[in-house]
Structure 1
Amino acid sequence: MSEPGMEILFGFHSVVEALKAGRRRFEGLYLFKKLSGRRKDIVMAAAKTAGIPVSFTDTRQLDALARGGVHQGIAARATLFPVFREPELMAQIAQRQLPFHALILDQIEDPQNVGALIRTALCTGIDYIVIPKDRSALPGPGVSRASAGAMEHASIFVVTNTASTIRTLKTHNAWVAGLDAAGSTLLHQADLTGNLVLVVGGEHKGVRPGVLKVCDFVISIPIKSPVTSLNASVAGAMAMYEALRQKIVN
């Protein structure tokens, strides 16, 4: 078991990106003793650069470390991923000179969805990712692996009350857009320029009514199918890329 304040990262991309990001302290790196090829070379080089000791072990120990997760012959013991809180979010925004884009994940519980959204957020230039502390998949080994290590480079803020956070973001001249199948504004018609906060809801109920209520407008994505909704990570990705497109053309 990990010591308090420590966790086990597993999988090639999670471990390598965490080493590159340099935001965690590593106590050990564990490789399958028969691991070979390019991946081994990359991990060994990253570990050497970071000054991390490497131990070679068998699949039994790696399976135990990863607790059944797909580790690809690579695991590491590291400090917890550093998350920020709401006061730090507002302080950073207050110091910005350029418009900002933020993404709020409203009680998304599936680590695969959270990981995919974090990766897309980085790819589309989202500056801040906000996650409520309750009923959410929080940053950890599973989310890191689902993001293919992208989480290790992200600025993630964990907040207590999503609606309250949105109200405070509005004081920084941000427009807040919620995603919902019943939204009155179609995605391609929405103005997503300037300071923008996108809110993506959970897998089962979407954005909560109390959170939608404090959004400035609600966006829907046209669907031409008997299926009535998109996966949370897909809907979020479409909205983030539309915001990036508008940022580029404007």
Structure 2
Amino acid sequence: MNRAFSPFMKSLLVATLAVSGFASATAPAPAAKADPAKGASLYDTGDAARGLPACVSCHGAGGNSTIAVNPRLSGQIANYTHKQLIDFTTPARQNPIMTTYAKMMTDEEKRNVAAYLETQKAKPNAARNKDTLELGKKIYRGGIAGTGVAACASCHGPAGGGVPALFPRIAGQNADYTVSTLQAFKAGARSNSVQMTTLAKRMSDEEMKAVADYIAGLK
């Protein structure tokens, strides 16, 4: 057998190598592994040179916000926090404060901060309205059959721990923040979750407040 390549085979080999080289040159580099230590530094001190404030000033030490309208971020699933920081830079989730700061952060910084927050232990919170506790519990565990609202537990887990890469941790979240989030989904001011937009539109303000208060007490 003649072992020499035919002109056709030579052309095919050159073309194959060229395509392979092009694919290698244009393929995006994999994201660097997140560094929680760097995330902690940015979270606690910010970056004054760029005018980026410390996250701790609004979200509390280790993500345990004591400001009712600001979310608790401690123990939050890193992929979820990273996605939200990206979403703040899009029309799907605009916020006068967070949109500004999220646009200042690199993707690496977003990943680092998210990784740091996932390692932080959430401090206990509590439900505060005993009059609506049963209603909140009913909605969280069983939904609202009459209006087609699914049980919160079906996505966020029986204890509110969330599902990595799918649904966020909500256990212990500040009730005021949860209510404002549900209202934003209902009004269309936040549109980065089709499921939550659909469900929030089926809930009354009373139902939102009841389930938000119940969620605050989950551990």
Work out whether the TM-score is over 0.5.
no
What TM-score do the two structures reach when normalised by structure 1?
0.26
Which structure is higher in helix share?
A: 2
Which structure is higher in strand share?
A: 1
Larger Rg: 2
